[in-house]
Amino acid sequence: MPSEKIKISILGATGVVGQNYIKLLQEHPWFKITDVAASHRSAGKPYEEAVKEKWQMSIEIPKEVKDLIVRDVQDFDSLKSNISFVFSAMDLPQKEDTKTIEFKYAEKGIPVISNSSANRWTVDVPMIIPEINYNHTEIIPIQQKNRGISKGFVVVKPNCSIQSYITPIYALEVNGFKVEKLIVTTLQAVSGAGYPGVPSLDMLDNIVPYIGGEEEKSEKEPLKVLGKVGEKGIINNDSIQISATCTRVPVTDGHTACVNLKFKNKIPTKEEIIKIWKEFKSVPQELDLPFAPKQPIIYLENIDRPQPRKDRDNDKGMAVTVGRLRKDNVFDYKFVALSHNTIRGAAGGAILNAELLKVKGFLK
Ligand code: NAP
């Protein structure tokens, strides 16, 4: 690895996900934040002043970041020439605008690793969970060719809740137990709505049984993640059916998913499933990437786990925690899965994507 760290920028640095990047990247061995950008409302202010009302992290703003002057994400001319790539955590009112801005960075030779849903359905943009579809980086050259881009590209990570159930499903699939159907009910934390997010009077003593667009994402995104590389982009998996209900619950961090699953033909025993989950490892672990959890799926035997407050920080918030595997009267099995939405589901997951891209030679 190079002795000098790779200089990077955070777009949307003032938001909940942006703040998580700033916390998580403090001591990163390869990457260093030297530029922060947000809306015109924050532009021109020192970072500390731009976030003073809304800093949510449990640490002080790191000294290397607090005096950086926030750039407008659309002020491409002020982007320092030594920035190698950007993490995008913007939340613009119109997704099309986010899409356009991300590709403008790519056209200017800057790789973009994004949390936004804006480019998730762009067919030549890989949507990566490194333990699952690490090979989808193969469509980056196709994306560059399609668009006449030479150095830059856009890579996204999926929605903040899906890794909690898709990683355990993928582990079963690669071990020969093909899944036919899933019914998923998510209980999603308030931090998933950004800051200031859902009004407190809607959340306290309450559950909101609707999150705009979330059920469609939960049903469709896994099919791209589990898809294969085609000549023009990703060809979605069409063999798994998913039905999702997504709810917002009064939990700060950590999205829970209650899952019922039906296998195609071969049905594993409960012991086989637990063994597969406990032993599951993939490319990030083989490559020993700095943000890779040692054990991507942690199975807890205790009957009342996983719980967000107790289990969301497992392996620094990067592991998926699973429990309550039991027979289902309608499908074959049911279980409960949990992952940290702003770490594994957002900033941490994207940092792991960047590490994979770096090792594969896409980030210079
Ligand atoms: P957030 O707290 O609302 O932050 C939004 C960020 O976008 C802020 O930095 C904001 O800058 C910037 N922004 C807003 N309008 C803008 C504009 N017109 N031009 C440029 N920048 C603008 O949202 P968040 O929760 O961090 O989410 C950020 C992105 O990550 C979203 O696309 C979201 O869907 C995705 N995501 C979130 C989570 C999660 O758990 N929260 C998980 C996965 C993915 P100002 O402060 O200057 O307004």
What is the per-residue pLDDT for 3? Answer: 67
Distance CA 203, CA 192 (A): 13
Cα-Cα-Cα-Cα dihedral of 235, 241, 245, 248, to 10°? -40
171 lines ligand 1 (CB under 6 A): no
Distance CA 290, CA 64 (A): 21
Distance CA 271, CA 46 (A): 55
Provide CB contacts within 8 A for 198, sequence distance 6+.
190, 208, 248
194 lines ligand 1 (CB under 6 A): yes
Which residues are the active-site residues?
160, 255
Q: Name the residue with the closest Cα to ligand 1, atom 25.
A: 194
10 lines ligand 1 (CB under 6 A): no
Q: How far is the CA of 273 from the centre of ligand 1 (A)?
A: 37
Dig out the tokens for 192 from the structure: 């998933």
The CA-CA-CA angle for residues 133, 193, 344, to 5°, reads 30
Provide CB contacts within 8 A for 15, sequence distance 6+.
38, 89, 90, 91, 194, 195
3-state secondary structure the chain: CCCCCEEEEEECCCCHHHHHHHHHCCCCCCEEEEEEEECCCCCCCEHHHHCCCCCCCCCCCCHHHHCCECEECCCHHHCCCCCCEEEECCCCCCHHHHHHHHHHHHHCCCCEEECCCCCCCCCCCCECCCCCCHHHHHHHHHHHHHHCCCCCCEEECCCCCHHHHHHHHHHHHHCCCCEEEEEEEEEECHHHHCCCCCCHHHHCCCCECCCCCHHHHHHHHHHHHCCEECCCCEECCCCCEEEEEEEECCCCCCEEEEEEEEECCCCCCHHHHHHHHHHCCCHHHHCCCCCCCCCCEEEECCCCCCCHHHHCCHHHHCCEEEEEEEECCCCCEEEEEEECCCHHHHHHHHHHHHHHHHHCCCCC
Domain range list for the chain? 6-159+347-359, 161-340
CATH of 161-340 given 3.40.50.300, 3.30.360.10, 3.10.450.50, 3.40.50.150? 3.30.360.10
**30 with 355: CB under 8 angstroms?**
yes
| Residue where the block lists tokens 């090979």 | 135
Dig out the tokens for 315 from the structure: 């392996």
115 lines ligand 1 (CB under 6 A): yes
Distance CA 321, CA 323 (A): 7
What is the per-residue pLDDT for 364? Answer: 82
Choose one of 45, 56, 90, 164 to mutate for the ligand 1 pocket test, by most ligand atoms within 8 angstroms of C-beta: 90
323 lines ligand 1 (CB under 6 A): no
- pTM, two decimal places: 0.97
Choose one of 17, 65, 100 to mutate for the ligand 1 pocket test, by most ligand atoms within 8 angstroms of C-beta: 17
CATH of 6-159+347-359 given 3.40.50.10790, 3.90.1200.10, 3.40.50.720, 3.30.1490.100? 3.40.50.720
Q: Do domains 6-159+347-359 and 161-340 have the same CATH topology?
A: no
Q: Name the residue with the closest Cα to ligand 1, atom 48.
A: 39
19 lines ligand 1 (CB under 6 A): no
Distance of CA 269 to the CA centre of its chain: 31
Residue in 121, 84, 123 with CA at minimum distance from that of residue 357 = 84
Choose one of 9, 39, 98, 164 to mutate for the ligand 1 pocket test, by most ligand atoms within 8 angstroms of C-beta: 39
Distance of CA 45 to the CA centre of its chain: 28
Distance CA 212, CA 72 (A): 27
**339 with 164: CB under 8 angstroms?**
yes
Mean pLDDT by 10 residues, the chain (364 residues): 84 97 97 98 98 94 97 96 97 96 97 97 97 98 95 97 97 98 98 95 97 97 97 95 98 98 97 98 98 98 98 98 98 98 98 98 93
**312 with 253: CB under 8 angstroms?**
yes
12 lines ligand 1 (CB under 6 A): yes
Q: Which atom of ligand 1 is nearest to the CA of 73?
A: 20
Distance CA 93, CA 240 (A): 32
